[in-house]
A and B are shown apart, each in its own frame.
Chain A
Amino acid sequence: MTRKQRRLTMIGGSFAVLAIAAALVLNAMRDSIVFFSTPTMAAEKQIPPGKRFRLGGLVQPGSLVRGDNLAVNFSVADGSASLPVAYKGILPDLFREGQGVIAEGSLDASGVFKADTVLAKHDETYMPKDVADALKKQGHWKDDYGAKPAAAPTQEAMGATKGASR
């Protein structure tokens, strides 16, 4: 095989693998990207039932109801709208009423958000970043939750935050 043929084979092979990878990426991007919404945004966008998204906001005080067998119901509010959430399982350590929360799941036919994952930030002084940013955007920002970058958690703490709260 000449140098030229060899090179052509290599380049051809590389392009084949790259094309496969690109196809995989595009395919995966179609299904596994999850958008973030607050209750207000969810109402505006009229997200259809069954479509997965991340719901963020504050746990409405007084809305938490614990049912049988670890079933939990609560509402997520962002100041102008709220959305009922149903979840079954163990809530993260730092889940509190009045605190920021992110739930991932989808709406059911009756408009209740069925969450399969609930995330709360591990450090009490933080609020989930998506929630904080969204609340700021909507002008419901009162406290300076986010203004503590000096104690930025380390690499491990951040990994932990995400996992611990699932």
Chain B
Amino acid sequence: MIAEAGHYALVLALGLALIQSTVPIAGARWGDHALMYVARSTALAQLLFVAASFTALVMLHVVSDFSVVNVFENSHSMKPLIYKITGVWGNHEGSMLLWVLILALFGGLVAAFGNNLPLSLRAHVLAVQAWIASAFYLFILLTSNPFLRIASPPIEGRDLNPVLQDIGLAVHPPMLYLGYVGFSISFSFAVAALIEGRIDAAWARWVRPWTLVAWIFLTLGIAMGSYWAYYELGWGGWWFWDPVENASLMPWLAGTALLHSAVVMEKRNALKVWTILLSILTFSLSLLGTFLVRSGVLTSVHAFATDPARGVFILLILCLFIGGSLSLFAWRASSLKQGGLFAPISREGALVLNNLFLTVACATVFFGTLYPMAYEVLTGNKISVGAPYFNLTFGPLGLALMLAVPFGPLLAWKRGDLLGAAQRLTAAGIAALVAMAVLWAWTWGGATFAPLAIGLAVFVIAGAFTDLAERLALFRVPFATAIARARGLPRATWGTAFAHAGVGIALIGIVCETTWNSEYIGSMKPNDVAKVAGYQLKLDGVTQRQGPNFREMIAQFTVSLDGETLRVMTPSKRNFTTRGSSTTEAALLTRGASQLYISLGDTNAEGAIAVRIYHKPLVLLIWWGPVLMAFGGLLSLSDRRLRVGAPKPAKAARALQPAE
């Protein structure tokens, strides 16, 4: 009954989406207000029905109704409640339902809080949203219906893939989707602007916060996924340049570029056409990510060819939306008015440079991700493009961009003074050189590249705060005045500083982890001692335990440093009986920003256990960086500027709340 209700609600949502995709456009064409208002009510109703449908699926999972295929294949009655719920989006059908739920959520937010938008713009935006929604409802209903029943219901389910039974996975996909799908808003705004053939003031004011919201979630989502991979997969890697990861990195790069070009558009009314194009590209990359992950093309080009229904459907959606929007762009972009003039050395120029590097870096990732597939389709030979390719292409571009980051905020709009900016960055430059020299002396004869990269990171961080110090006139005016100035400073400025510093912090973490990571791999018997980076780890013993849906082998290690016992670490290996597969639960010991990491391998005949122990210096900075970036984004989002100037500031302020 619940399953049928959920299915029916989804069909109704499709019906509403179809109305929403046509009626408001007709209304806008004829200037009929009543028809344009249809968009608002249908968007809200659609949200209601999708939410009902999603709730139905969650309930089916919670009560373990194995007469539903989706529940049978991905759940187990003994599974803890939390994983029964998160298991809903741990599979293809459920995660697609989450995708449309979030799409409807964003549509609903525009509908609910978009009262200050010009009526026809809102009608167009919501109609475009509904086009996307309709396509994905059809996809779910025709190829991936989560509510299908089994004729003779089994007693027990097949359980969720054990590596997904983890709290990190409870939060990671929704975050990622909030980011992915959030970019649909700027896409819809861009297409609406192209249809209307004009971009007015409200456009820029609206696009930036929405892009920012999506970007914040995507940043956190990617960081969380990376941390999950780090602790759950058992060998301490945090980024594999796997196509699945690249699928989320590409929209992030394009989205970051969009964020910066939207600033130019908002402040200076320039780069309009480019911003529109970036909005389209960013969401196109999100769709591409969905295609890569959902069509099975990654598991195997072969699997894609034998079960083409899903893949071809998403490919069609992809072609339709990317092709359609780009054609529309080619056709209408010339009718948009050009914006203000600026010299190449200026804030605008710096932001253009940023865009250039980010989009080119995005293109290299795109190429490396899709080349093996294209190669296999064309020649039949298999190749893999691994981490070295990405390190050699993305690395230099990223580092070059970072060198330029501190200069951007110090340049004036319209016409900047590069020499002046360089002078003001002297202190940051000196800090960077000192850091380099100290590190180089300290690690004498070691890595040469690492001190340089860390120097660069210090430059970025110090540069970010140079900008703040300059604006506060710190050390030049009495401290109290500087504090008063700090209060008056726009939050967006603080946001910029934190976000840029976050990039530097992440770089420090990345460089330290990859360069000075020490490891011990070997087999240990009880009372054996392993020494890693000055720490002594003694294996006390191995015990067995029965979990809710798994058996667990736990090893106990006592960690000591210079004879002083610090803590006990208990890595384990879980064996999931239903799927017959096992997962490695690493044990982590955090010391400042560094971590000790133990994961277990096989036990051999003599009772010795294979052990991997890592010491990862400053590894946590890799994720603190993105968190700081997201925090900067949040500060920027709370900026007055984004609320003031809109006719109803209070409403606009509430519209931003979902980010918090």
Contacts and interface: CB of A to CB of B under 8 A. Distances in A.
A164 B236 CA distance: 10
Interface string A13-33: 110011011001101110111
Contacts of A90: 521, 601-602, 610, 612
B545 interface: no
Interface string A151-166: 1111111111011101
B183 to A, nearest CB: 17
A130 B382 contact: yes
Interface in B283-299: 293, 296, 298-299
A58 interface: no
A150 interface: yes
Interface in B340-374: 341-344, 352-353, 356-357, 360-361, 363-364, 367-368, 371
Chain A interface size band reads 35 or more
B240 interface: yes
Interface in A99-157: 122-124, 129-130, 132-134, 136, 146-147, 149-157
B373 to A, nearest CB: 12
B163 A157 contact: yes
Contacts of B389: 28-29, 32-33
A54 B379 CA distance: 17
Instruction: Please indicate which of the listed interface residues B169, B293, B387, B604 has the most CB atoms of chain A within 10 Å of its own CB.
Output: B293
A18 B390 CA distance: 16
Contacts of A154: 90-92, 95, 161, 164, 173, 293
Contacts of B431: none
B73 interface: yes
B601 A91 contact: yes
A155 B296 CA distance: 10
Chain B interface size band reads 35 or more
A13 B345 CA distance: 12
A137 to B, nearest CB: 9
B173 A155 contact: yes
A42 to B, nearest CB: 13
Contacts of B242: 158-159, 162-163
Contacts of B486: none
Interface in A75-116: 89-91, 93-94
A65 interface: no
Contacts of B371: 29
Contact of B90 (A69, A93, A156): A156
Contact of A160 (B233, B303, B341, B381): B233
Contacts of A34: 383-386
Nearest to A18: B360
A28 B367 CA distance: 12
Contact of B523 (A70, A93, A94): A70
Contacts of B509: none
Contact of B299 (A6, A18, A94, A129): A129
B522 A10 contact: no
Interface string A40-70: 0000000000000010000000000010011
B32 interface: no
A160 B163 contact: yes
A36 B240 CA distance: 19
- Classify the secondary structure of A's interface with B: helix
B73 A24 contact: no
A127 B241 CA distance: 22
A164 B234 contact: yes
B160 to A, nearest CB: 9
B601 A153 contact: no
A93 B392 CA distance: 31
Interface stretch (B49-57, B224-232, B249-257): B224-232
Interface stretch (B313-321, B558-566, B576-584): B576-584
A73 to B, nearest CB: 15
Contact of B343 (A1, A129, A133, A153): A1
A134 B302 CA distance: 11
B522 A70 contact: yes
Contacts of B353: 13
A130 B303 CA distance: 11
Given A13-B356, A89-B521, A152-B296, A32 B385 contact: yes
Interface of A: 1, 3, 6, 9-10, 13-14, 17-18, 20-21, 24-25, 27-29, 31-36, 54, 66, 69-70, 89-91, 93-94, 122-124, 129-130, 132-134, 136, 146-147, 149-160, 162-164, 166
19 contacts: A13-B344, A13-B356, A17-B360, A24-B364, A24-B393, A28-B389, A34-B386, A36-B382, A66-B604, A91-B602, A129-B303, A150-B73, A153-B299, A154-B90, A154-B91, A157-B161, A157-B163, A159-B225, A164-B584
Nearest 7 pairs between A and B by C-beta? A32-B388, A129-B300, A90-B601, A28-B392, A36-B382, A163-B233, A32-B389
